[in-house]
Copies of this chain bind each other. A is one copy, B any other.
C-alpha cells in the first residue's frame, strides 16, 4: 500500500507488495518435500483466508484534537493521520506472531496517530510535542522487524505516535576521500543502494529484509547482511549518527575509531527506539568492486562443513560471503529449485552425482555452500585460491558460479514463503544465534533437539534446518528455519512452544539470543541469561535515565511491566 507522500509500505497482512507471492507450481519437488517434512500437501490443502480489512475490529484512536493539530502544524495536514489502515500497517512488524495476529484480526492496540516528518527539524518538533503531551513515540522504518520491536504495549493508556521515517530517504552526501556517505535513516535498502550505485559506490549491506528495511532500522536493531564478512555488520559500517532526543539532537561524528569513554555510538546501535529517533547515519561505503562473484561448493557432511568454515575464518582469506547449509537445508534448497534450472538440474545429471560418489559423499548428507569473493581481479583470485585449498583439504568440491548467480537473484524472496505457508495453515519461521566455533556444533544439535522436543509435545511432524550465514574470527552465526502445521487451537501458543524452546537451547549451549534480529518483546525474556543480571541492570539504567517517563518505545528489549504476554523463559 502507498500512504501519505508516497511512502511505500508492505501488505498489511504479509510480506512485500500486493501481487508478489511464493509459488510452488514451477518447483515440482517442493510439494512432495513439504509432505515429508511437515505432513502437509500444499497441492490439496485448504487455504486459510485472510480476513478482509473492513472486517477487522480496529480499536479507535486515542488522541486529543489539540495534540493532533499540534502534529499537523509541524508536518502539514497531509502527513499526519489516524486512518485505520495506516494505523494497522504501523501496529506490527512481520514476525510470525505479528502475521498470525493481524491476519486473524487480533489487534489489541494500534498507534493512535502516524506522522511522516519531512526532515530532522520536523522530527525534533514531533518528539518535543509528543514528550510534552505525555505521549509514547515508536519510530517506524520499513516495518520488517520480526522480534516484536514495533507493537504498542497492549495495556498502553497514553497516546501512541508511530513516527514513520519514510520521507527521510535520501543519500545526502558522499565524502569520496573517506568512503563515507551521509544517508537519511528512512531510506530503504534498494533506494539507498541505487542512489549510491549512481555515484559509483556500494554500502554492501544486504540483509534478507533488504527490500523492505531501512538504514535507520538496521542501526536500531544491529542488522547484519549477506556480505557482512567483508563489509562488516551495520555496527561496523555506521560511523556517524544523528538521533533526535527530547529537546535536542545527539550527534556522533563519523570518526574511524575513538577512545572517548563508553561508546555512545554503540548505545544507539540496537536501541530499537528506546533512546530517541535516528534521523541520519554516516556509513562507510566502498567503490563498486571489479569482481563480485559467488561460488558454490559441496561438502560431504555438516561436521566437515563447520571445520572448513572455521579454518577459512582463521586463515588469511577474507571472503565476502561464507555460507553453508546443513544437510536438511541443502535438501530443501534442491527441492525448491525450479525444474528448469538451479541445483536440481545440477544434481539430476550423472556427472556430479558420479563425482560425489567417487569422493565418498552420501547424497543425504551433502552440504551446499556459497562463498563470495570481491575486489580487484587479482585479489579475488588470491582469495579464492586460499579458500579452495582449505575446501580441498576438507574433501569439498567446487561447482562453479552458476548456482551462486541463482542464489543471488532469489536471496530476498525467502520471506514470501512464510506467507505461503500461513495460507496453508502452517507455521514457517526463523531463529538465529551466534556462538564461538567450539560451540557451534552443540548449538546446532541443541536447537534441533529442542525443536524436536517441542514438536513431540505438540504431537506434530515438524521441520528444522540451518545454515552458517556469517563467519567471524572467533565464531559464526547459525540461522535456523523451522515449520509445522498449526492445530485448531491457539496458534500462537503452539508457535511459542517451539520458538521458545529453540531460543532457550541457544542460551543453554553457549549462543546468544540474537545475532542480528534484535530483542524487541520476543527475545527479551532471555536477555538476562544472555548478558547477565548486571548487564541488564546497566542497560536498564541507561534507558531509565535517558527516558525517565518511558515514552520511547517502552517495554522493548527490557520489558519492565507485566501486562503483555511475554512469559519468562522456562529453563530447559
**Which residues of A approach B to under 8 Å, CB–CB?**
175-180, 221-224, 233, 235, 239, 243, 245, 248-264, 266-272, 275-276, 284, 286-287, 310, 314-316, 318, 375-376, 378-379, 382, 385-386, 434-439, 470, 472-477, 510-519, 523, 527, 530-535, 537-542, 544-546, 557-558
Q: B271, A179: Cβ atoms under 8 Å?
A: no
Q: A515, B271: Cβ atoms under 8 Å?
A: no
Kindly state the separation between the CA atoms of A557 and B477 in the bound complex, as whole angstroms. 35
Note all chain B residues with C-beta closer than 8 A to A257.
Answer: 224, 233, 235, 434, 470, 472, 477, 515-516
Note all chain B residues with C-beta closer than 8 A to A512.
Answer: 253, 255, 258, 260
Q: B535, A264: Cβ atoms under 8 Å?
A: yes
Kindly state the separation between the CA atoms of A376 and B318 in the bound complex, as whole angstroms. 13
Q: A314, B179: Cβ atoms under 8 Å?
A: yes
Shortest Cβ distance from A389 into chain B, in angstroms?
A: 10
Kindly state the separation between the CA atoms of A267 and B510 in the bound complex, as whole angstroms. 22
Kindly state the separation between the CA atoms of A434 and B260 in the bound complex, as whole angstroms. 11
Note all chain B residues with C-beta closer than 8 A to A262.
Answer: 266-271, 275, 539, 542, 557
Q: B239, A474: Cβ atoms under 8 Å?
A: yes
Given A179-B314, A438-B177, A518-B259, A245–B539 Cβ distance below 8 Å?
no
Q: A514, B264: Cβ atoms under 8 Å?
A: no
Note all chain B residues with C-beta closer than 8 A to A235.
Answer: 257, 263
Note all chain B residues with C-beta closer than 8 A to A287.
Answer: 314
Q: A264, B511: Cβ atoms under 8 Å?
A: no
Tallying the copies of this chain within the complex gives 2
Kindly state the separation between the CA atoms of A264 and B539 in the bound complex, as whole angstroms. 7
Note all chain B residues with C-beta closer than 8 A to A541.
Answer: 541-542, 545-546
Given A248-B534, A263-B266, A379-B386, A256–B178 Cβ distance below 8 Å?
no
Q: B519, A260: Cβ atoms under 8 Å?
A: yes
Given A263-B263, A514-B258, A542-B538, A175–B472 Cβ distance below 8 Å?
no
Kindly state the separation between the CA atoms of A254 and B436 in the bound complex, as whole angstroms. 7
Q: B470, A249: Cβ atoms under 8 Å?
A: no
Note all chain B residues with C-beta closer than 8 A to A258.
Answer: 222, 434, 512-515, 530
List 9 extra interface pairs beyond A178-B438, A258-B513, A263-B263, CB under 8 A: A177-B438, A179-B314, A179-B437, A222-B259, A222-B260, A255-B434, A260-B519, A260-B530, A275-B538
Shortest Cβ distance from A316 into chain B, in angstroms?
A: 4
Shortest Cβ distance from A267 into chain B, in angstroms?
A: 4
Kindly state the separation between the CA atoms of A134 and B514 in the bound complex, as whole angstroms. 39
CB-nearest residue of chain B to A535: B264
Note all chain B residues with C-beta closer than 8 A to A515.
Answer: 257-259
Shortest Cβ distance from A335 into chain B, in angstroms?
A: 30
From A180, A287, A510, name the one whose CB has the most chain B CB atoms within 10 angstroms.
A180
Note all chain B residues with C-beta closer than 8 A to A386.
Answer: 378-379
Note all chain B residues with C-beta closer than 8 A to A224.
Answer: 257, 259
Shortest Cβ distance from A528 into chain B, in angstroms?
A: 11
Given A222-B258, A258-B222, A263-B267, A252–B532 Cβ distance below 8 Å?
yes
CB-nearest residue of chain B to A287: B314
Q: List 22 A-B contacts (CB under 8 A).
A: A177-B436, A224-B257, A245-B537, A250-B532, A250-B535, A250-B538, A252-B532, A254-B475, A257-B434, A257-B515, A258-B434, A258-B514, A258-B515, A259-B517, A260-B523, A264-B535, A287-B314, A315-B376, A537-B546, A540-B545, A542-B545, A544-B545
Note all chain B residues with C-beta closer than 8 A to A248.
Answer: 533-534
CB-nearest residue of chain B to A263: B266
Given A178-B436, A473-B179, A474-B178, A532–B251 Cβ distance below 8 Å?
yes
Kindly state the separation between the CA atoms of A515 and B256 in the bound complex, as whole angstroms. 9
Shortest Cβ distance from A380 into chain B, in angstroms?
A: 8
Q: B284, A473: Cβ atoms under 8 Å?
A: yes
CB-nearest residue of chain B to A267: B262
CB-nearest residue of chain B to A542: B542
From A222, A436, A533, name the one whose CB has the most chain B CB atoms within 10 angstroms.
A436
Kindly state the separation between the CA atoms of A475 and B256 in the bound complex, as whole angstroms. 5
Shortest Cβ distance from A396 into chain B, in angstroms?
A: 19
Kindly state the separation between the CA atoms of A510 and B386 in the bound complex, as whole angstroms. 40
Kindly state the separation between the CA atoms of A501 and B193 in the bound complex, as whole angstroms. 41
Q: A558, B261: Cβ atoms under 8 Å?
A: yes
